[in-house]
Amino acid sequence: MERRSFHDEIGRNRRSSILLIVILTLIVVVLAATISYTFAPEYLIVVLLLSLIFMLAYSYGSYMYGDQVVLSATKARPADEREHLFLRDTVEGLSLAAGVPAPKVYVVPSEEVNAFATGRDPEHASVAVTTGLMSVLDREEMEGVLAHELSHIRNRDVSFMTLVAVLVGLAAILSHVIRRTYRFRGVSRGRRGGRRDRERGAGIEATILALGFFLAIFAPLLTRMVQFAISRQREYLADASGVELTRYSGGLASALEKIMGHNRGEMDVSEAVSHLFFVDPNRSALDSLYATHPPIDERIKRLKAM
């Protein structure tokens, strides 16, 4: 694998994230256009407004209070000033290098080697590490993992992924509306069965409605796959940004190598928050398709090429 600087890697993964979110936005736009063509204008406005209000309210709640939910769900407790002095000092030093306020530091009781960052913005952020991470990793490896997590904070990944979740949710709602519309139109046309209805179903209308029906079926799956792909790109970006902070890729690569041999992927963590972690806390047979994290060996390969 050709060597590249962490600046090149950061630029590459940012471009990939932007491309994927553009694709996600286009899917939502096409679904909305299909509804616009199918519904009467007055119904379109009501449906879209209700969908938007619901998704914004849901996302606002997740954005504002999601960090407390995550910390509570993982049984995280504040790091002790004396017992976890190195951990707290390392977070403060890396925060200074990253140009962000030092986040609150928590410890999660688990033998697995893992960590996560949460919070709606750098001013309201928290970083948590497992007890297993502190006992298994050495100083350089721990510093690499913490730099990765602070990069998530600096890159505002929580805000970015909240936007992605809004688009995925809108796509799901619009797809449901379109499927229900097709059922209604099918019954309506079956009752009338007139020549005018058959003629009106031809040409451009049939093409648009066929496209809308296709997207209504597959959009929920496609948008989720794009969401997972964006999550994987943000992990690559945090790896490269973490190297930018420490100026040393070996620590993070070594940490990942130890995790491959140590972790069993059996943390008691909900799938709803698993994307926040440094490595996937839960492994499954479908990880290659639905994984929120890139393969660890691929992350190591990229780090060693920096």
Reported confidence tier of residue 193, pLDDT bands at 50, 70, 90: very low
What token pair was written down for 33?
Answer: 């256009």
Higher pLDDT: 17 or 203? It is 17
Asked if the model's pLDDT at residue 117 lies above 90, the reply is yes
Half-sphere exposure of 98 (CA within 13 A, CB side): 29
| Cβ atoms within 10 Å, residue 172 | 18
Burial of 241 (0-12, 13-18, 19+ CB in 10 A): buried
Asked if the model's pLDDT at residue 206 lies above 80, the reply is no
Look-up of token digits 């995925």:
168
What tens digit of pLDDT does each residue of 136-166 get? 999 999 999 999 999 999 988 877 776 777 6
In this prediction, residue 45 carries a pLDDT of 66
Higher pLDDT: 214 or 119? It is 119
In this prediction, residue 29 carries a pLDDT of 75
92 carries an active-site annotation: no
In this prediction, residue 34 carries a pLDDT of 73
Asked if the model's pLDDT at residue 11 lies above 80, the reply is no
Reported confidence tier of residue 120, pLDDT bands at 50, 70, 90: confident
In this prediction, residue 189 carries a pLDDT of 45
Region 185-211: what's the mean pLDDT? Answer: 52
Q: Tell me whether strands 104-108 and 126-130 are parallel, antiparallel or unpaired.
A: parallel
What does the DSSP assignment read for the chain? -----HHHHHHHHHHHHHHHHHHHHHHHHHHHHHHHHHS-HHHHHHHHHHHHHHHHHHHHHHHHHHHHHHHHHTT-EEPPTTTTHHHHHHHHHHHHHHTSPPPEEEEE--SS--EEEE-SSGGG-EEEEEHHHHHHS-HHHHHHHHHHHHHHHHTTHHHHHHHHHHHHHHHHHHHHHHHHHHHHHHHHHHHH--HHHHHHTSHHHHHHHHHHHHHHHHHHHHHHHHHHHHHHHHHHHHHHHHHHHHS-SHHHHHHHHHHHHH--SB-S--TTTGGGBSS-SB--TTHHHH-SS--HHHHHHHHHT-
What token pair was written down for 76?
Answer: 């995280």
What tens digit of pLDDT does each residue of 260-276 get? 999 988 788 877 778 88
What tens digit of pLDDT does each residue of 249-262 get? 999 999 999 999 99
Asked if the model's pLDDT at residue 237 lies above 80, the reply is yes
Reported confidence tier of residue 187, pLDDT bands at 50, 70, 90: very low
Q: Which of 112, 143, 149, 235 is catalytic?
A: 149
In this prediction, residue 207 carries a pLDDT of 67
What token pair was written down for 272?
Answer: 């709803």
Q: Which one of 18-27, 105-114, 279-288 scores highest in mean pLDDT? A: 105-114
Asked if the model's pLDDT at residue 76 lies above 50, the reply is yes
In this prediction, residue 221 carries a pLDDT of 78
